[in-house]
């Protein structure tokens, strides 16, 4: 089966999640492949800007909020 989009990034996120939760819960982190951009960010917009500066737009990068469990959003 083909690897999904962001599979590497999500693996890196899982590997660091517990460590990041201790001091960075609720912050946004930016990851491309196995590289984590420097810094944690209060908002999605700040994280996006940092990701563009670090990685450019040649390849997608993951912007993800640090939570204990993945939130489930409601659309009704």
Q: Which residues bind other proteins (CB under 8 A)?
A: 4-6, 10, 44-45, 48-49, 51-52, 56-58, 60-64, 70-76
Query: What is the Cα gyration radius of the chain?
Result: 13
Minimum Å gap between C-beta 42 and other proteins is 13
Query: Which residue(s) pair with 32 in the sheet?
Result: 35
Contacts of 36 (CB under 8 A, 6+ apart): 12, 16, 29, 30
Smallest separation, CB 36 to other proteins (Å): 14
Rounded to the nearest whole angstrom, what is the least distance from the CB of residue 75 to other proteins in the complex? 5
């Amino acid at each position: 089966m083909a690897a999904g989009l962001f599979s590497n990034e999500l693996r890196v996120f899982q590997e660091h999640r517990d460590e990041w939760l201790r001091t960075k819960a609720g912050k946004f982190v930016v990851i491309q492949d196995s590289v984590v951009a420097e810094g944690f960010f209060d908002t999605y917009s700040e994280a996006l800007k940092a990701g563009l500066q670090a990685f450019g737009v040649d390849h997608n990068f993951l912007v993800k909020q640090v939570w204990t469990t993945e939130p489930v959003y409601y659309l009704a």
